């Protein structure tokens, strides 16, 4: 594994990021707009509510954590699609760059962008709505964060594997997949609010346990560590399977000449 090749890929993507208004909007604009819309909505609901519980805290916490998962998956897939749009996939995969190096560089770049996005959201939430994300969730943040990142990366790698094999016909999944998962992730409501059949689906989604514990912190200040351990275990299984699936689909796409068609 070459650190130099990994750094080269990161620098390439950073250069594209800084020069693209579309990528700027994905990292800053849309998450910020999401925060504004939900912030105004929750502020209004809070004023109409007679409960002492902070609806603003409840909603904005969900928005920020959801954006972490969404950006983790979306950036992973869009970076891959961008190489296809620029007819550069063949150049990358015919170079000495290994698949593992490509995936590591994508994850590192993903982390860099997420730091910027999360900082933007948390600072904006504090300035606009006096919601302090860091004091609200405190030292629990890293444990919630890592689980959301892992499920996002797993989903992103899985989508990229499908794109390798089946091409542009599945490109919409790069944007749609997490929104298909959102109802079962219980972002803004408990698992018990779902129909029984949907509850069964949510049980195999690591993200549902994270959002359940997010609400537990807000309601009681406590956390059920078993749920986070279970989420982490599921995440490891999905991450390993998605990486193996990516390798398999890459080999299939190469043997069938799909890389040239996607390029």
* 168 secondary structure, DSSP code: G
Q: What is the pLDDT of residue 159?
A: 92
How would you write the pLDDT of the chain (263 residues) with one tens digit per residue? 777 777 766 776 666 665 655 555 555 555 666 666 556 555 545 555 545 456 777 788 888 999 899 989 988 888 888 877 777 777 777 777 788 888 888 899 889 888 888 898 899 889 888 889 999 898 999 999 999 999 999 999 999 998 888 877 777 777 788 888 888 888 888 888 888 998 999 999 999 999 999 989 988 888 899 999 999 999 999 999 999 999 999 888 887 776 666 65
Residue 205 φ/ψ, nearest 5 degrees: -100, 115
Q: How far apart are CA 113 and CA 107, in angstroms?
A: 10
Q: What is the pLDDT of residue 37?
A: 54
Residue 187 φ/ψ, nearest 5 degrees: -65, -45
Residue 172: strand, helix, or coil? coil
Q: What is the pLDDT of residue 192?
A: 86
Domain ranges of the chain: 3-262
User: Residue 257: which region, alpha, beta or left (left: phi > 0; alpha: psi -120 to 50)?
Assistant: left
Q: Which long-range contacts (CB under 8 A, 24 or more apart) does 38-44 make?
A: 38/63, 39/63, 39/125, 39/128, 39/129, 43/129
Q: What is the pLDDT of residue 26?
A: 56
Q: How far apart are CA 33 and CA 87, in angstroms?
A: 32
CB contact at 8 A, 77 and 160:
yes
CB contact at 8 A, 77 and 154:
no
Q: What is the pLDDT of residue 52?
A: 47
Q: How far apart are CA 259 and CA 165, in angstroms?
A: 8
Q: How far apart are CA 189 and CA 223, in angstroms?
A: 17
Q: What is the pLDDT of residue 239?
A: 96
């Amino acid at each position: 594994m070459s650190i130099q090749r990994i750094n080269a890929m990161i620098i390439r993507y950073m250069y594209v990021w800084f020069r693209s208004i579309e990528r700027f909007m994905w990292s800053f604009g849309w998450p910020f707009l999401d925060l504004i819309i939900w912030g105004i909505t929750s502020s209004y609901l809070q004023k109409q509510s007679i409960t002492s519980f902070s609806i603003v805290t409840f909603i904005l916490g969900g928005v920020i954590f959801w954006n972490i998962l969404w950006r983790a998956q979306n950036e992973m897939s869009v970076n891959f699609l961008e190489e296809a749009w620029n007819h550069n996939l063949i150049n990358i995969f015919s170079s000495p760059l290994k698949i593992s190096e490509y995936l590591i560089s994508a994850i590192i770049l993903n982390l860099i962008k997420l730091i910027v996005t999360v900082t933007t959201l948390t600072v904006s939430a504090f300035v606009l709505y006096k919601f302090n994300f860091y004091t609200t969730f405190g030292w629990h943040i890293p444990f919630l964060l890592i689980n959301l990142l892992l499920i996002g990366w797993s989903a992103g790698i899985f989508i990229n594997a499908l794109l390798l094999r089946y091409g542009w016909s599945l490109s919409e999944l790069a944007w749609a997949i997490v929104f298909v998962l959102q109802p079962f992730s219980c972002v803004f409501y408990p698992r018990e609010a779902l129909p029984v059949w949907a509850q069964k689906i949510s049980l195999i989604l690591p993200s549902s346990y994270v959002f359940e514990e997010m609400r537990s912190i807000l309601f009681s200040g406590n956390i059920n560590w078993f749920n986070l351990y279970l989420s982490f275990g599921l995440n490891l299984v999905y991450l390993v399977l998605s990486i193996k699936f990516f390798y398999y689909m890459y080999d299939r796409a190469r043997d069938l000449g799909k890389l040239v068609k996607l390029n």
